[in-house]
Structure 1
Amino acid sequence: MLKLFYRLFIELTNHSLSSKLIALFTKSRLSALLIPSYAKIYCINQSEMEKNLKQYKTLQQLFIRKLKQGIRPIDKAENSVISPVDAVIEDVGTITKTKEITVKGKTYSVQEMLGSNQAAEKYLNGLFIILYLSPSHYHRIHSPISGVITNQWSLGKKSYPVNRLGLKYGKAPLSKNYRLITEVNVNGKHTAIVKVGAMFVNSIELTHKDEYLTKGEEMAYFSFGSTVVLLFEKDAFELDPAIKVPMDIKVGERIGYLKQ
């Protein structure tokens, strides 16, 4: 019963019309009335924000806020991989030979997530990391590594919630939601940075236009809380032993190392 109720609820709130209406509201001056209560309910750390709370004129401006310069130091180790977002590490695991990952007891097809068998093939037996952003988190996405962008593409239409309930009861949000995939090559090995929308159609905006990414550099932002999935080729990445599941993490903090 709970499963059916939750699926019905997210269906009603994720059609294109309702998504557009919610998006229009968050961009309106009227939404500014909710900013103080939103900041309080979600315990937003105002001391980190680039601007004072009163300077944000809409909820969306608060969602996509920037932080003060230097507030997120980037791990300096040459071969380190950093968290691209402020988030909760929800799951870490191995991509199976059948091109699948298991998150919260639910199986997802990497082939479906990336849109093709060819794209998924290179990640067989590699590692995946799921990073969930709540409405309270900083919503800008930074590059976890330095490397050359070899491909970038988008897939999906609707955007179901990707919180714990969404992962458990939603219709495979990690592989069906609107998502923007950036594939980066480092020393001949690929990393896929899968940015998954959580609400609104096309809720992911690119801010980086060059062919080369530098570790820690901003590359995009979410218009609402969401999830980033990192996929690494086999023998390309080693998880830092300090990483646990679940675990809070911030942009710039080390999650592992690229193997030489």
Structure 2
Amino acid sequence: MTEATPAKTDARFADRAFVALQLCLPTRWLSLLVFKLTQLRAPRFKNALIRLFLRGYTIDLSEAEFDDIERYDSFNHFFTRALKPGARPMPGNAQAFVSPVDGTISQFGTISEDRIIQAKGHSFSLYDLLPGDADAGDFVGGEFCTIYLAPYNYHRIHMPIDGRLAHWNYVPGRLFSVNAATARALPNLFTRNERLNARFDTPAGPVALSMVGALFVGSLETVWSGRVTPPHLRHASDGGPYTTMQPVALARGAEMGRFNMGSTVILLAARGAIRWAQDIAPGQPVRLGATLGNWRRAGA
């Protein structure tokens, strides 16, 4: 489990150089350009782009809704592809708190007061992660898990536990890469980047899910609001939080949103709400539906 107090960073010269390059790049413009390119429907262009991507990454299309690239309308349609029904069965244990995505565990553990570990030597405040949330203090001393989605991962986001949407908000920000190199070298990475935060009322108490945008992440989307970005804003005209006109109740394993290109999801739960599984560790790949731990009923 993650230590409460970060030590000296593991950042290398190459990590710092990569961050310095990103600081000079027009990341919002580049991300918008990638979004527009991935939306193009010209068959020859989108098929060539998909084939190029498949040569660069190992992707199992046998579990995808369509295994024939001709059936995808655009590269984005392919990138945000759905899975075949039953491809990610939920565990039989109703108390299992599951991974909402395919990805790699970056960090997890107990929040030390309001500080969340980003990487060795770096932490950030949950109040900075959840600006405008008057109830962010509910997660002080609570539990967190950060999962990184690489470009080759399945990019839809699902519920880790049954929940009813309480409120959500969009937070403008930068669009730095969220890979391990940037996490090691750039302080407060996840609170600098654009993100969408959603808070749910669950049997384990409040659970928040933060969808953190990143370089070349062309779109953040939820099932209740549709596409939220682009445009990638520098300042929010109304930071929320927002509540939906109709109640939004989602079962464990139900889709709640999606990314275009790789990014990061941060899960937050209240103090003592989650007992993490003994066999998970930072750097470990996980798949949607894998048990991260067991949740404890609020007030029990």
SS in 2 for 1:230: strand
The letter of the residue matching 1:25 is L
Report which stretch shifted further, 145-154 or 51-60: 51-60
How far, CA to CA, are the matches of 2:125 and 2:182 in structure 1?
17
The correspondence for 1:213, drawn from 250, 254, 258, is 250
How far, CA to CA, are the matches of 1:149 and 1:15 in structure 2?
31
1:37-116 equivalence runs, <5 A:
37-51=52-66, 52-97=68-113, 99-105=114-120, 106-116=122-132
The letter of the residue matching 1:17 is W
Report which stretch shifted further, 180-189 or 63-72: 180-189
Name the counterpart of 1:16.
Answer: 28
Q: Work out whether 1:151 is the aligned partner of 2:163.
A: no
RMSD: 2.0
Report which stretch shifted further, 11-20 or 122-131: 11-20
Contact 1:160 1:177 in 2 (8 A): yes
Contact 2:194 2:213 in 1 (8 A): yes
How far, CA to CA, are the matches of 1:171 and 1:27 in structure 2?
33
SS in 2 for 1:191: strand
SS in 1 for 2:164: strand
Contact 1:208 1:218 in 2 (8 A): no
1:26 CA displacement? 1.7
Relative to the length of structure 2, the TM-score reads: 0.80
Distance 1:9 1:31, change over 3 A: farther
Distance 1:119 1:175, change over 3 A: farther
SS in 2 for 1:122: helix
Contact 1:14 1:160 in 2 (8 A): no
How far, CA to CA, are the matches of 2:218 and 2:196 in structure 1?
9
Name the counterpart of 1:194.
Answer: 210
The letter of the residue matching 2:253 is G
Contact 1:158 1:200 in 2 (8 A): no
Aligned positions, number: 259
Contact 2:159 2:253 in 1 (8 A): yes
Report which stretch shifted further, 49-58 or 236-245: 49-58
How far, CA to CA, are the matches of 1:154 and 1:201 in structure 2?
15
SS in 1 for 2:91: coil
How far, CA to CA, are the matches of 1:140 and 1:197 in structure 2?
14
Contact 1:178 1:201 in 2 (8 A): no
Gaps of at least 5 residues in structure 2 are 1-12, 226-246
1:14 CA displacement? 4.5
Gaps of at least 5 residues in structure 1 are none
Report which stretch shifted further, 236-245 or 9-18: 9-18
Relative to the length of structure 1, the TM-score reads: 0.92
Distance 1:39 1:55, change over 3 A: same
SS in 2 for 1:67: coil
Q: Work out whether 1:222 is the aligned partner of 2:259.
A: yes
Contact 2:204 2:296 in 1 (8 A): no
Contact 1:14 1:158 in 2 (8 A): no
How far, CA to CA, are the matches of 2:211 and 2:221 in structure 1?
10
The letter of the residue matching 2:59 is I
Report which stretch shifted further, 128-137 or 163-172: 163-172
Distance 1:201 1:91, change over 3 A: closer
1:202 CA displacement? 6.5
Name the counterpart of 2:50.
Answer: 35
